Amino acid sequence: MTQPLLSVSSLSVAYGPVDAVRAIDLQVFEGEIVTLLGANGAGKSSTLNALVGLVPVASGSIHLEGKDTTNQAPESLAASGLTLSPEGRRVFGALTVAENLQMGAFSIADKGAISAAWDRVFELFPILKERRHQFAGTLSGGQQQMLAVGRALMSNPKLLLLDEPSLGLAPIIIEQIFELIGQLRDQGVTLVVVEQNVAMALDVADRGYVMAGGQIVASGAAQELEQTSNLQDAYLGGH
Ligand code: ATP
């Protein structure tokens, strides 16, 4: 069997007395899109943040390409090919589009690789090229999301983690974001996508995990999860 690109074993995250993630196991194989679903507070963001070293791992382990990366610093993980595009976009509004993108390449020393990353991001997002001298704060919500993803891509990730990329965006922009997710996979990027938009996430993903109360309560092929009739009511807070 092929070795997983990412392997998470019995991972727990705690904030003082709050157990946000409770001994979860998950694996991501090269070339896959894996979606992580769950209601608000289920522990999805905490999981992603622990993977990239933004919150400490309380127990358990994380392996990237077979190497133990548990509790490594975000910079060193980015250099190893693991990058997060965080929830809420978090672009720097007072910096230009180009300056925001440049920050995403901080972990890369090779000038050729940086120049290839600029080309790729501008090809994927022509609007960012057009607006490269504009302050990021003047972009629309959808454009800021594209900038956040573009910035994450500047580090040339093998594994890109997207935390709620469709949050707060208009339906037509959400469609573009999901189209982009498929395009990135076609370009060889492996993705983990946290989403509230369950139908669209399962549509684009190969496999999914469902979290509730910090645990993984269901997992499987996206198509199988799609057919789980009580998925929404049982785990995702209904509606
Ligand atoms: P959301 O979609 O709302 O972001 P989520 O599934 O990503 O939800 P987390 O944000 O990981 O869930 O939160 C998991 C639990 O940890 C929740 O009970 C939350 O209140 C708690 N939590 C998250 N961040 C912190 C923090 N910095 N300090 C204390 N508790 C936190």
Q: Is the ipTM of this complex over 0.90?
A: yes
- Could you state, in order of their start, the residue ranges of all structural domains in the chain? 1-81+161-238, 88-156
Rounded to whole angstroms, the Cα distance separating 18 from 63 reads 25
Count the neighbouring beta carbons within 10 Å of the beta carbon of residue 138. 12
The closest residue, in CA terms, to atom 25 on ligand 1 is: 15
- CA 55 to ligand 1: nearest atom: 27
Q: Name the CATH architecture for the domain at 1-81+161-238.
A: 3-Layer(aba) Sandwich (3.40)
Q: What angle do CA 211, 217, 222 make, to 5 degrees?
A: 80
**Cα Rg for the chain, rounded, in angstroms?**
17
Q: How confident is the model at residue 132 (pLDDT cuts 50, 70, 90)?
A: very high
Cα torsion 134, 140, 142, 148: sign? positive
The reported pTM is: 0.92
> How far apart are the CA of 46 and the centre of ligand 1, in A?
6
> How far apart are the CA of 115 and the centre of ligand 1, in A?
37
Cα torsion 211, 196, 186, 72: sign? negative
| Tokens 């997992």 sit on residue | 219
- CA 87 to ligand 1: nearest atom: 4
How far is CA 85 from its chain centroid?
Answer: 5
Beta partners for residue 82, in sequence order: 159
Tens digit of each residue's pLDDT (9 = 90 or more) over 55-97:
999 999 999 999 999 999 998 999 899 999 988 778 899 999 9
Rounded to whole angstroms, the Cα distance separating 50 from 204 reads 24
Query: Looking at this protein, which amino acid is placed at residue 53?
Result: G
